[in-house]
Amino acid sequence: MRLADYLDKGVSLGGDAPCLTMNGETLTYHATQQLSYRIAAALDASGIGRGDRVAVLSGNDPLALICVFGISRVGAVWCPVNPRNEAEENRQLLDLFGCRCLLFQEKFAPLVARIRDQLPELTTLVCLDATVDGALTFDEWAVSRDEVLDVRTNGDELCMLAGTGGTTGKPKGVRLTGTNMAISTASALMSYPFGERPRYLALAPLTHSAGVLTFPILSLGGEVVIMPSPDFGEFLRLVEQRGITHAFLPPTVIYGLLDHPDLDATNLESLRCLWYGAAPMSPTRLEEALTRIGPVLGQLFGQTEAPNMIATLAPAEHFRADGSIATERLGCAGRPTPLTQVAVMNEAGELLSRGERGEIVVRGPLVMAGYHEDPKATAAVSTYGWHHTGDIGYLDEENFLYIVDRAKDMIITGGFNVYSAEVEQALSAHPAVQDSAVLGLPDDKWGERVVAVVQLRPARQATPEELVAFVKERLGSVKTPKHLDIWPDLPRSKIGKVLKTDIKARLAAQL
């Protein structure tokens, strides 16, 4: 399927049904489809066709999402641009992709002005919501035309080029095909509870997992309710008032929701699945969420190179057969999805047995078609015929996947392997801890020493000595941080991941 086919499937289930809603204004499926045809015709009139790259730089907005379907209809390739990136990172990505057209919102016009002259292949610039010097307005560009363009592409053709979102070094482009996205969508539909006409609330950026998760919703004729900016109170209000059934939130956002004063007074009975992913979630806070939000939490584990659905933990799998919370399972990433093979491999390329720790590797039609114009990086991540995720973990006897750490985050101290994620989970069990980062710093005696930085929950207090003793009681002295700082906040990437490289550099300068 093409990306536009998910919209068209929804149209076939009823063109008058609500499709996209924001700020109380709703577009029906038929109106959304017609607007996507109009965008496709405008792209064609601009000389954009099959295989050409079209970038979309926008916050959460219905028109920006509809542009994705218009891009698909001419056989072009969608290049989502993260608006939180620095200008130079976006310039590098657009240059790498060879983008010929850029569709953007007015609030990003200053960013566009800084990079446009350094992108010689960029011939068409369109501002979606205002008049901006050097760009066409949307109405000037997407004039009404009689023709209906609908280029058919095959599953092996690119439909999306996505930046890796790396925190260091030159960004890479991930080549995703129609088959990759179809497998991701099918895996979601097989793994989680949906029902007829789900209602999905998009608070997280549509340039990431939240956008890809609209495809299964649209294929069922569901409604996508878009939040233009994050707001916990508004999120709770919309869930209750619009009967929201599905949403995706990174763990740090769920923590904020749990700390919101309106949570317990809000009726959340309509929720069927609140997805979480993109970063590890504290088992302690997850248990709290299952109790206070409801038995609706569903985990997804993936990466840009294998979008969203390497493994899933459906809401029901968070519980034992007797209905009690399966606390022993809350630290896992779920079971591998049916259409993807997952294994654990050692450095020699040998697949390991159940319970043995090694690198998590993946193969199957979910895995990307390689890094864009980077055969060396593609070969490096594809050794032994498997895609290497860079995560260390193991599969248990019930086929649940546990992620122990990122390979680069493992600490070797005095000859012992210490997985930072294990120490972070121990810290997160403390009632005062909101989030933490554990890493290794050079040590003359031990090779590396374990250090930690902690962010406390609002209105909670704890001392470094108290937290160190808390970890030591649970993990022993080897894994206990030799130094622990408490910071008011942790540095994060554009999608909310803690930036350990920034923390390490700051700590190295201090200690």
Amino acid found at 229: S
The confidence score (pLDDT) of residue 168 equals 43
The number of beta carbons lying within 10 Å of the beta carbon of residue 136 is: 17
* DSSP summary character for residue 375: H
Nearby residues of 225 by Cβ (< 8 Å), 6 or more positions away: 21, 22, 199, 200, 201, 202, 238, 242, 244
- Strand partners for 101: 54, 124
Q: Report percent pLDDT > 90 for the chain.
A: 80
pLDDT at position 494, please?
Answer: 61
**Rounded Cα distance, 289 and 296, in Å:** 9
Q: Which residue type does 187 have?
A: S
Structure-token match 């990759």, residue found? 180
- Using DSSP, state whether 335 is helix, strand or coil: strand
Give the chain's domains with CATH numbers.
Answer: 27-177 (3.40.50.980), 410-510 (3.30.300.30)
Residue 253 phi/psi, 5-degree rounding, is -75, -40
Cα separation of 390 and 305, whole Å? 11
CB atoms within 10 A of CB 215: 23
Q: What is the pLDDT of residue 297?
A: 98
**Looking at 241-296, which runs of residues are DSSP E strands?**
246-249, 273-276
Q: Given the DSSP bridges, would you call strands 447-456 and 483-486 parallel, antiparallel or unpaired?
A: parallel
Residue numbers in the chain where pLDDT is lower than 70: 165-169, 494-495
Using alpha carbons only, what angle is made at residue 79 by residues 305 and 37, rounded to the nearest 5 degrees?
125
Give the per-residue pLDDT at 166.
47
* pLDDT, position 167: 41
Show the tokens assigned to 492: 């994060």
Q: Position 479: which residue type?
A: K
Length of the chain: 511
Both structure tokens of 425: 């989970």
Which residues face 451 on adjacent strands?
Answer: 439, 483
pLDDT of 88: 87
**pLDDT tens digits for range 391-407:** 999 999 999 999 987 77
Nearest-5° angle of CA 161, CA 275, CA 279?
Answer: 65
pLDDT in tens, 334-351: 999 999 999 999 999 999
For 492, which DSSP code? Answer: B
Helix, strand, coil distribution of the chain in percent, nearest 5: 35, 25, 40
SS (HEC) of 31-59: HHHHHHHHHHHHHHHCCCCCCCEEEEECC
pLDDT at 430: 95
Burial of 510 (0-12, 13-18, 19+ CB in 10 A): exposed
